[in-house]
A = this chain, B = another copy of it.
Amino acid sequence: MFDTLKARNSPTAKCNAQILRFERQEKNTVSDRYIMPGSPCSSCSARSKAICAGLSDDEMDGFSRNIRTRLIKAGNSIYREFEKANYFYTVVSGEIRLANLLGDGRRQLTAFKSAGDLLGEHNGGIYQSDAEAVCDAVVCQIPIKILEKYTNEVPAMRVTLNTKMQNELCDLRHHAILLGRKTPIEKIATFLTARSENCEWSDDDKAEVVLTMGRSDIADFLGLTIETVSRTITKLKNMGLLLVPTSHSIVITDQACLKRLAENEQ
């Protein structure tokens, strides 16, 4: 299934490779609830970026006994807004979108979360958004009680968690500025620039950005319509700042200029 040409060349090739490993271990998983045998943490590719980064090997051992690894198929949700919150999640691979719906179907995405990021923000014990897999993803499920216990007992964990929350606040603030005041060109430029920070490759002034999500996810993240997203990317292409080899791969050919557009420096 994942051996097709498409899968190997697709934007999700990397996370699919990881999923392949899981599927080999226990084949024919039907649901997206995949409970991995043994302790995966020692070889976890996301560990250094995740909240468990600060744990000693011993602490990690105890911690890992309480967590489960789940494979989430593209489009499926991990949790939904208004559900009772029992778990946090660390993204191991793939990409998750946080979505909120208005009564009439309008949608706003507030974040994309990838390897190392923490999911499960709640308030009053209730999740605040839908968390859905943009592409096949692996997440690691941590009971809230356990995380609370460790943040109380392990100062390093507390620091890491606090930093993650600070970063999330910072991201959301910048996103509010983008949504409230930036033009479509600035929005797309900001989005692509941010994505280029952990991109596939980059040299001198070029970088390849892989978009795991479709145009409608980008539109709902940036507060635009898919048509405006499409037109704006075309515009940037015509300005000579981008190449668009496939709709899911964008090569930035002038990072400096794109960044200037993003930040509206005169």
User: Are A177 and B100 in contact (CB-based, < 8 A)?
Assistant: yes
Which 6 pairs from chain A and chain B are nearest by CB?
A180-B223, A179-B179, A172-B172, A103-B264, A108-B180, A108-B177
A225 to chain B, nearest CB (A): 11
User: Are B103 and A181 in contact (CB-based, < 8 A)?
Assistant: no
Counting contact residues on chain A (CB < 8 A from B), the size range is 35 or more
User: Are B172 and A173 in contact (CB-based, < 8 A)?
Assistant: yes
Q: Please, how many angstroms separate the alpha-carbon atoms of A176 and B173 in the complex?
A: 9
Of the stretches A72-80, A162-170, A205-213, A249-257, the one at the interface is A162-170
User: Are B123 and A167 in contact (CB-based, < 8 A)?
Assistant: yes
Taking A103-B265, A128-B170, A152-B155 as contacts, is the C-beta distance between A181 and B123 under 8 angstroms? no
User: Are B179 and A110 in contact (CB-based, < 8 A)?
Assistant: no
User: Are B176 and A175 in contact (CB-based, < 8 A)?
Assistant: yes
Output the residue of A123, A128, A152, A266 with the most chain B CB within 10 A: A123
22 contacts between A and B (CB under 8 A): A100-B177, A102-B181, A103-B263, A104-B266, A106-B264, A108-B176, A108-B177, A110-B176, A121-B166, A121-B169, A121-B170, A121-B173, A123-B166, A123-B167, A123-B170, A128-B170, A129-B173, A152-B155, A165-B165, A169-B172, A172-B172, A180-B223
- 10 extra interface residue pairs, beta carbon distance < 8 Å, beyond A123-B166, A123-B169: A102-B264, A103-B264, A103-B265, A104-B266, A108-B180, A122-B166, A129-B173, A169-B169, A172-B172, A181-B223
Output the residue of A170, A172, A173 with the most chain B CB within 10 A: A173
Q: Which residues of B contact A166 (CB under 8 A)?
A: 121-123
Interface flags, A167-203, vs B, CB<8A=1, else 0: 1111011011101111000000000000000000000
Interface flags, A98-135, vs B, CB<8A=1, else 0: 10101110111010000000000111000011000000
Number of copies of chain A assembled together: 2
Complex: chain B residue closest to A223, CB-CB:
B180
Q: Which residues of B contact A182 (CB under 8 A)?
A: 102
Q: Which residues of B contact A263 (CB under 8 A)?
A: 102-103
A53 to chain B, nearest CB (A): 18
